[in-house]
Every structure is written in C-alpha cells, then in structure tokens.
Amino acid sequence: MSTLLEQLHAQAGEFIGLRRDIHHHPELAFDEHRTSALVAAKLESWGYAVERGLGGTGVVGRLVRGKGKRRLGLRADMDALPIDEATGLAYASSHAGVMHACGHDGHTAMLLAAAHHLAERGRFDGTLNLIFQPAEEGGGGALRMMEDGLFDKYPCDAIFAMHNMPGLPQGRLALREGPAMASSDYATVTLAGIGGHGAMPHRTADPIVAAASIVMALQTVVSRNIDPLQMAVVTVGAIHAGKANNVIPQSAVLEISVRALDREVRGRLEERIKALVAAQAESFGIKAQIDWRPGYAVLVNAPEETAFAREVALELLGPERVTLQAPALPGSEDFAFMLERVPGSYLLIGNGEGDSHGACMVHNPGYDFNDDNVAIGSAYWVLLTERFLRD
C-alpha cells in the first residue's frame, strides 16, 4: 500500500498548513463558526453535497459514487478547549484562553485530506458521509447533531472515528473491540438539615455529619456492589458546608463524579448511590435531594466493524505498527452516542512517545498535534472507505 501512503504524503503539506491555520484560530464548543465554514467551503469545492448548521455548527459532506447501496460515516471533531496555550509555536493560538489542546484541529485536517483524495481519485461505490461535529469536549455535539436528524438524513451502515494519543508511537494505530471508553455521570447531593449552635447539637440536624457518613458509605458501592472484575469509579470531588467552628450549618452539598465501562455497571452505580444517599440522610434526620446528570455513554466498539477496521490498519501499516486490542481508557468521548445508534469503531493514532513533542498529554498547555500523522491518518480513512464501499 506504499503507493496510497505516498500519494497522501505528497498532498500532506497543504493539509498541514490547514491544520496550523485551524490551530491558530481555535474555537470553543458550538462556537466553531470559522472552522465549520472553512470545512464546508473545502468540501463544496471538491464536489461534496454539504449541509451546514447541523447541531449548531456541525457540517456533513456527502459524496455518492456508483450505484452501491452501502453507506459509510466518518467523523471528526472540531472544537478547542478553554486553555491558555504555552507551546510558543509560530502558529500558536491567536485567541487568548482558547487552545486546540486535544488535537481536534488534526482530526479535522486528516479527514479533510482524505475527503480531498477521495473526491479526486477515490475508487469506491456507494455513499460516503463525512461528519464534522462541534463540541466534543463536554458539550455533547454528537448528540445535538443526532437530535437534528443526522442519521435520519444521512443513514450509515457503519461509522468510524479516530483520536490521537500521546505516549503511543507516532503513526501507530490502536484498536479495541468492546467497551473502550468510560461513561461519565455527575451528581449533586444537597443535604438540608437544621442549623444551630455548635454547643447544642441535640437541637439541630447536622448536615456535616451526614455528609461525612455519606462520603464513607459511598466507598462501599465500588467495593461491595460491583463485580471486582469490572471497572467503576465513584469520586466525591467537592464538599461545601459551614463557615465557623461553633455554627452547625443548615445545609451541605456534595459533588460526585461516576464512571463505568459497562452499561449495566453504570446503571447499578446510579441505583446504589441514590439508595445509599437517601438511607444515610434519613438516618440522620436530614432531607437529601440528588440531582443526577447523565454525561457521556460508555463507548462500545462493535465486533464486526472493529475486525474490519483492524484489517484496514494491517493492510496499510503491517502488524508492527498496529495494536489489535488496546487497553480501555477511563476518559469519555461523545462518539459513544453515535455508536449507540450505528455500529462502528473508534481507534487511536499515536501522537509520539518518549521525549518527543508529540508525547505531551492532551489538555496540557504544551500539547500539539503531530503533523506527521496527517498523511497516515488520511491514508487510513481513504483505504477504509475504499474497502468498505468496494466497487
């Protein structure tokens, strides 16, 4: 497959320039106006049928070739993060406090580079849907595009997405079948007690004692209610209560973060946390209110589509540069919502390891996407498209 890689190497310069331009003009979730306009204009100029404004600032480009019935979806994310860039690069962010610190500039550039090649000389038969989504970083842009009819207007038989990964050798592809990234849910527990004098606790209902007891009781959810072979996290990240040593406050608030790698475990965590909070609070004569906010779902890679994605990776790079079953990650990713609707697979591309600049972790102010991945990442998308939509 060296010829395909060579072809994408030959055009990579243009897309590295585009990547740096996007990096220089980062935009936060649902504010990706310049980026999505740029994406839409490029796709249109290459002959794609383009829809703008799906899910706010999302863009879909469709290219139909031949009479094939198969429909493929490829997704990239476009949003930046509220971070002050500290890379010192010539193309560093020109927007104070906003930075492409997760490489979504690179994901966009890789998919555009593939889009260009596929329009010019892609050999496929069927429908290609390129999905550029807003607000991956906590905003749930994938869900917003789906609520706007993404898969009703652009049905897909399978969908794929790729994220860069610092610490993994540059250009290495890592796949995983099954649960690959965690769900993340949030809960705010408000404990309403009866405040009073610290010297007369018997005339109060102390929310601080109740809060302390709840924090300890919550530790038993993972250790006693969840299968020891399953991953689960319950973290109380904040406690807010009281101001003075001799005043028992009226209320206390707990902020809880909950993660799981399995849909059933996720449900069990919610059920047990709610039950424990209610029972514990009641035992202290305290009223508890729990505001449960579901975040991203567990990201589950489908077996058949992952097997296919592995074959494409092996064909492009050979076994030395492909990890067939990578470990799961405790982070979250809203492509999970798309995978709940359409089977597919989410893979990683190594951003660099050791003391290379590509090894700096995402969400760090010193991070930068590795431009050497533009050719490999786009070649992967081209080959995957040509294999999935075989003519």
Give the interface with Zn ion as residue ranges (CB under 5 A).
102
Q: How many CB atoms lie within 10 A of CB 390?
A: 12
Looking at the Cβ atoms of 64 and 92, the one nearer to Zn ion is 92
- Smallest distance, Zn ion to C-beta of residue 123, A: 31
- Smallest distance, Zn ion to C-beta of residue 333, A: 7
Please give the biggest Cα pair distance in the chain. 82
Strands, E assignment, the chain:
49-54, 58-65, 71-77, 126-133, 158-166, 173-174, 178-181, 183-192, 196-197, 232-241, 247-248, 251-260, 287-294, 299-301, 322-323, 344-352
Looking at the Cβ atoms of 162 and 383, the one nearer to Zn ion is 162
- Smallest distance, Zn ion to C-beta of residue 148, A: 21
- Smallest distance, Zn ion to C-beta of residue 81, A: 7
The closest residue (CB) to Zn ion is: 102
DSSP secondary-structure letter at 194? B
- Smallest distance, Zn ion to C-beta of residue 203, A: 50
Looking at the Cβ atoms of 102 and 382, the one nearer to Zn ion is 102
Looking at the Cβ atoms of 108 and 127, the one nearer to Zn ion is 108
Distance CA 365, CA 201 (A): 48
Looking at the Cβ atoms of 102 and 281, the one nearer to Zn ion is 102
Judge whether 370 and 352 are in contact, CB under 8 Å.
yes
Written as six digits, the tokens of 258 are 């909950």
Looking at the Cβ atoms of 78 and 286, the one nearer to Zn ion is 78
Looking at the Cβ atoms of 63 and 76, the one nearer to Zn ion is 76
- Smallest distance, Zn ion to C-beta of residue 331, A: 8
Looking at the Cβ atoms of 122 and 166, the one nearer to Zn ion is 166
Written as six digits, the tokens of 250 are 């009226």
Q: How many CB atoms lie within 10 A of CB 167?
A: 14
* Locus of tokens 């700096």: 360
Written as six digits, the tokens of 21 are 């331009």
- Smallest distance, Zn ion to C-beta of residue 362, A: 5
- Smallest distance, Zn ion to C-beta of residue 104, A: 6
| Single-letter amino acid, residue 290 | I
Q: How many CB atoms lie within 10 A of CB 328?
A: 17
Q: How many CB atoms lie within 10 A of CB 304?
A: 12
